[in-house]
Copies of this chain bind each other. A is one copy, B any other.
Amino acid sequence: MSLIVQKYGGSSLKTPNDIQRVANRILKKKNEGNDLIVTVSAMGDTTDDLLDLANQVADRPNPRDLDVLLSTGELVSCSLLAIALNNLGVDAVSLSGFQAGVMTDDTHGRARITNVVSDRIEKEISNGRVVVVAGFQGITENFDITTLGRQSSDITAVAMAASLGASFCEIYSDVDGIYTADPRLVTTAVKLDNIGYDEMLELASYGAKMAPRSIEMGMNHQVRIVVASTFNENKGTLITKESELGNNIGEIQNKVRGIASDTNVAKVSVLGLEPGFTTSAELFEKLAQADISVDVIVQNTGGAGKSDITFTVKRTDLYKSLDIVNQVKESIGAEKILSSSNVAKVTIVGAGMQDAPGYAAKMFRAISDQGINIETITTSEIRITCIIDESRLKDAVKALHSTFELEK
């Protein structure tokens, strides 16, 4: 008897029909002899609809009560799923974040889980019930409802799996696994059987779109995560620690696992900075205060001692970012500010790369052979990222996919 945590995303729960399909999948898994905890997102676009309602009654909805409002989306889907399950003869019980013991801090809108008090869930499971938990939400120690941030039902699922020691945490959506590249860009992209947590963190920007926080939590608690589709029976992709994969680091040494790509990228360059200024601290503090997530950051110091900083943000944050850069322009002593929203990010990912030279050169050659200019480069232990012109993204991804022989 294994305990399995499943999570169904909003795209799997758009209509009452979808909910019945999911209920039947759960029935099947239950009949195979498993104990089940099922976490759900809100149906379809419910969260956006609720946000829209809030914006119709207030210019700036206050975060505490906005969380109460947004939390209802998952209460609707989890109760409907429990109703559908009971109707199929499956003894099921729906629990809100509070009832499921999902304790969080009080950062409304993006609360962090501090603990899962699992007494209630354990009692229900020991009574043979399927437990359906509202994702995306929790409760503070003062009994205020919180939400964990957009697309955070994954986090609820992984937290449940970690807390209750589940054998697997299965993430179901309309994507059936993690691919070597975005299949919309590369028709020969191949689904991976498995991938390491670190690699998945880098690839999460496309495809299965798991919230990076949930992958981090999975990594920290060694939760085996399976990404699969609600709409077919295909085997998904297992995300686990590298050492557990048949292809451990030694064996995959010369292997890039996938190509990540992202077009929701805008680039800001701050040029001609005099040395000695506490520029980067001041600039990025201000951006953080404005709640802008900065992705890539590159700083270079040229011959004259002056340096340039380039960073990327989501496109929707570009104008807010430029406002802030202009505000601090003088105090950080910048000569010039450039920006562009016609850029894209392409990344090769592979845990084996850190121990083997030559990947960077091979990547740059593949891109420049296509006549594509590389504007910015940044690397981590397991990935190399280039910023290029958006219009050439597809060519770059295809060339890299072929160069690193990902189509097998």
Q: Which residues of A contact B (CB under 8 A)?
A: 16, 19-20, 23, 50, 53-54, 56-62, 64-66, 68-69, 71-72, 75-76, 78-84, 86-87, 92-94, 96, 98-99, 120, 143-145
Contact = CB atoms under 8 A, between A and B. Distances in A.
Given A57-B84, A71-B75, 20 more contacts: A16-B53, A23-B57, A53-B80, A54-B80, A54-B83, A57-B81, A58-B83, A58-B86, A59-B87, A62-B86, A65-B83, A65-B92, A68-B78, A69-B76, A69-B80, A72-B72, A72-B75, A96-B145, A98-B143, A99-B143
A98 B71 CA distance: 15
B75 A62 contact: no
A83 B61 contact: yes
Contact of A69 (B50, B53, B71, B75): B75
A99 to B, nearest CB: 6
B82 A68 contact: yes
B72 A19 contact: no
Contacts of A87: 57-62
* Residue from the set A50, A60, A76, A143 with the largest chain B CB neighbour count within 10 Å: A76
B57 A69 contact: no
Nearest to A95: B68
Contacts of A86: 58, 61-62, 65
* Residue from the set A62, A65, A84 with the largest chain B CB neighbour count within 10 Å: A65
A324 to B, nearest CB: 26
Contact of A79 (B69, B79, B80, B96): B69
A61 B72 CA distance: 19
A135 to B, nearest CB: 14
B57 A83 contact: yes
B80 A94 contact: no
Nearest to A62: B86
B20 A57 contact: yes
B53 A65 contact: no
A72 B76 CA distance: 7
A116 B61 CA distance: 29
A75 B80 contact: no
B84 A58 contact: yes
Nearest to A73: B72
Contacts of A96: 68, 145
A319 B240 CA distance: 61
